[in-house]
Amino acid sequence: MGLSMGMELSTGDTVIEVRHGGFAEVGVLDDGFNGKRVVKRIKDDVLASAGQEVIEAFFRECKVWVHQLRNPPKNAHVAPAQYALRDLDGLGPVLFVSYVDGPQLGTLLRSGRQSLSQTVRMGAQTASALAYAHERALRHRDLKPGNVLLTTDNEIQLIDWGLANAQEISHLTAGVLDYWSPQRRADPTLDEPDDDVYALGVILHECLTGRYPRASLHTAELRADLAAARPTAPEHVLDLVCRMLAVPPQARPTAAQVCAVLTAPDLQADVAAREVERAFCPSCEFVAGERESADCPVCGHAMYERYAHPPRPGMVRVPPGVFIHGLTEDQARQALMAAGVGSDPQNLKALVSPDDPQRKVFVPGFDIDITLVTNQEYAAFVEATNYPAPKDLLAACATQPDHPVVHVSWRDALCYALWAGKRLPRPLEWEKAARGDKDDRTYPWGDVWQENRCNHNRYPSTTFRATSPVTAFTRGESDGRSPFGVADMAGNVGEWISHSRDTQSKGRDAETRAICGGAWSDPVAVYGAASMQISAAIDYKSEAVGFRCAADIVYEERPVVPSPP
C-alpha cells in the first residue's frame, strides 16, 4: 500500500509529502494542530521480499533509536526520535521522528560553493551529531547533503539515520555511492564510525570546491587540488578534509576530533576575518557563498553587506588575504652575503628558525601609513597634548621637518598612534605591507639586494649623513617602495611595531617590543629583510628608531540590493 499524499493515518496525522530512499519510505505528516512530524517505514517492494526476521530486526532497531535519540541535547544536532510502532495501518513497523523546518544543505550546494564560515559551522555541527551517535554505538550510514537540514536559526539537524545496525537488514540499505568510503564500496555491510567521517569529508570538500573529490587523487595530490580550488581556506581546514578522506580508515580522525578542530576559537576568528566583506544575515549568522541574494536562504530575513570606508589621507589599504611569511635558508644566506656577514649557523638563526618556517599566512585587511611619522607630525602631537618632546625635536623641525621622528620609545610611538586614532602595526601586518602578497621577496623592491633603493650604512651617496626625507626613495631608479606603495620599509629608521612575533601566541613580554626594517646606521641587506625583527626594551630610544601607524578598516553595513530580474 505505502504512503500517499493526503492519506489519513489512525494516529490522526495526514500525509503531506512522501520521499523515497534506498529501502525506506519517509512521510511528512500534518498532525492537525499546525504541527509536523516525520514517519519512516520499509518500502513495499522491500517488505514483499523481506522475511519476518527482517521486519522484526527493523522494529527492534527503531526502538533502539527511540531509546537513544528521544531527548538529545540541542548541541547534539540530531532530529529527535519520538516513538516506534510494530505496525501502523498495515504499513508495517514505523518510526516517528521530529520534523525539521528548513532547507537541505543539498539545496544550498546547488547555488555553488559555500562560504568558509558556513562550511566550518556546518561541518562542526554535523561532526557533533556524529560524535553524539558514535558514543552510543549508532551510525548514520547514509550521510549526504540531502540529510543535513538547517533550521531557521542556521543550526544543523541530521535526519534519516540509516537504520541498519542489525545484520539482518544491513544488506537492504542503500546510500549515495559518492559519499561512501572505499571500504564500504567494497563491502556495503560495513558499519564503522570512520565511514561516517569519510562521508562528512566528501560533504566538506563539496562545500569548499562545489564538486566531489577526485577519487584518483592520493592524499598529497588531493591537498594540492583543494588548495588550488580554495586558496583562501585556512591550512588547518584543508589538512583536516584530506585526513577525513584518507584511504586507510585508521588515518581518519574521529567525529569528535573533527568537531574539536572546527570549533577551535582561533579557527573561528580566522574564518570570520577572511570573510568580513561577504554578505551575511544578522538574524541567523548565515554567510553567503558564491551567489548572493537579498534574502537569506536559511531564515528568509534580509541579507547585509559590509562596505569599507576608504583609507584616511596618507594611508594605503592592504586587503585581507594570504601572503608568504618568513625566509628560506637560501634567501637568508643571500642576505648575509650581501651584507658581508658570514652565513654561519648562528647568523642564519637570526633570519630563519625551524619553529617559524616560511609558509602562507592569512592577515585580515588593514590600513597603514605610506610614510614614517615625521618630525613635523610628531611636533603637532606634542603641541596638542603637551606630551614630552623627544630629544632635539625643535631643531629637527626647523631643519628636517620631513625626516622621520627619532628618539622615541615604544610607549611614545603608541601614545602618538592613539592620539591620531590609529595603532602600531602588528608583526605580520608590517611584513605583508613590506613584501606584498604576490611572492616571497626578501626586500620591498624584490629578491635581490640593491643598495641604491634605501638609506643604509653603505649608501653610495654622501647626501644623507643620518635620516633622510620620508619620500626620498619613492622615485626613479631609487624607488624602494613595497608592492603596496609603502615607503622606507627597509632602511632610514627601524620601526617600532605592536609586539614581537614570537610572543604573539606565548604571552607578551611586558618589557620588550620588536623593531623592523633596519636603519641608516645598519647593514640593511640583513636588517631590512622583510621578516627580520629585533627586540628592544619598551623605553629604548635611539637616533635610528622611529615608527609609522596602522589602522583597522572601518566598515558600514547596508542591506543587499536585489539583483534586477
Q: Using H for helix, E for strand and C for coil, what is the string for 52-117? A: HHHHHHHHHHHHHHHHHHCCCCHHHCECCEEEEECCCCCCCCEEEEECCCCCEHHHHHCCCCCCHH
Q: Which domains does the chain carry?
A: 14-98 (3.30.200.20), 105-274 (1.10.510.10), 315-552 (3.90.1580.10)
The reported pLDDT for the residue numbered 63 is: 84
Q: Using H for helix, E for strand and C for coil, what is the string for 113-176? A: CCCHHHHHHHHHHHHHHHHHHHCCCCCCCCCCHHHEEECCCCCEEECCCCCCCCCCCHHHCCCC
Angle CA 537–541–547, to nearest 5? 95
pTM of the model: 0.80
Residue type, 490: A
The reported pLDDT for the residue numbered 56 is: 81
Which of 36, 92, 38, 83 is CA-nearest to residue 62? 83
Say what the alpha-carbon torsion angle 503, 509, 512, 516 is, to the nearest 10 degrees. 10
The helix/strand/coil state of 536 is: strand
The reported pLDDT for the residue numbered 220 is: 81
Burial class (CB in 10 A: 0-12, 13-18, 19+), 506: exposed
Distance between CA 66 and CA 455 in Å, rounded? Answer: 76
The reported pLDDT for the residue numbered 278 is: 92
In this structure, are residues 454 and 492 in contact, taking their beta carbons and an 8 Å threshold? yes
The reported pLDDT for the residue numbered 400 is: 96
C-alpha atoms less than 13 angstroms from C-alpha of 303 in its C-beta half-sphere: 22
pLDDT digits over 69-105, tens only? Answer: 888 888 889 888 899 999 999 998 999 998 988 899 9
The helix/strand/coil state of 19 is: strand
Distance between CA 134 and CA 494 in Å, rounded? Answer: 56
Distance between CA 311 and CA 327 in Å, rounded? Answer: 30
Distance between CA 215 and CA 455 in Å, rounded? Answer: 55
Q: Give the residue ranges of the chain where pLDDT is below 50.
A: 164, 166-172, 503-507
The reported pLDDT for the residue numbered 163 is: 55
Residue type, 267: L
